[in-house]
Amino acid sequence: MKQERGFVYPITLLMCMLILQVLLFQVNLYLVDKHAVYEQERLMQIETLLQLGISEFLNNDVAPVPNQNILFSYPTGTVTLEIATYDNGISNVTVKARLETGHERQAGFRYNWNNKMLDHYWEVS
């Protein structure tokens, strides 16, 4: 039998596997970055909705009625404010922003109706 001493085919296979591995790694990095950018855009949209809703609440004359829900609709989603408590001119207000994509974020603050001042702001994803 003839001895075969070919080395080109195994090296070609090894190079193809290496190139394929690098290509798959780069595709994975691209997909992870694309998803991160998408989530960052949604986070910015929901932050904007929260700011718009709170700003609209502060600019409108709303009566301090406990357990009252106030709804603001925007093209990208909705903002719901709930006046949870009212005691001595101070209310705890809960804000919930929801995008059309289903992303949600909740925030809250204490509102002084006499001074029309907002304090103790907090957020939860």
Look up tokens 């798959």; give the residue.
24
Length of the chain: 125
Q: If pLDDT is split at 50, 70 and 90, which confidence band does 87 have?
A: confident
Please report which confidence band the pLDDT of residue 2 belongs to, taking 50, 70 and 90 as the band edges: low
Mean pLDDT of 12-20: 96
- What's the total number of domains in the chain? 1
The distance of Cα 102 from the centroid of its chain, to the nearest Å, equals 10
Candidate from 54-58, 61-65, 72-76, 96-100 with smallest mean pLDDT: 61-65
* Residue 16 lies in domain: 9-124
Provide the pLDDT for residue 79.
Answer: 95
Cβ proximity of 49 and 79 under 8 Å: yes
Looking at the predicted structure, is the pLDDT value of residue 67 above 90?
no
Q: Is residue 3 part of a domain?
A: no
Round to whole Å and give the CA distance between 73 and 60: 15
Is 47 part of a structural domain of the chain? yes
Q: Let me know if 43 is exposed, middle or buried by CB neighbors in 10 A (0-12, 13-18, 19+).
A: middle
Tell me the pLDDT band of 63, cut-offs 50, 70 and 90: confident
Does any domain span residue 32?
Answer: yes
Contact between 79 and 96 (Cβ < 8 Å): yes
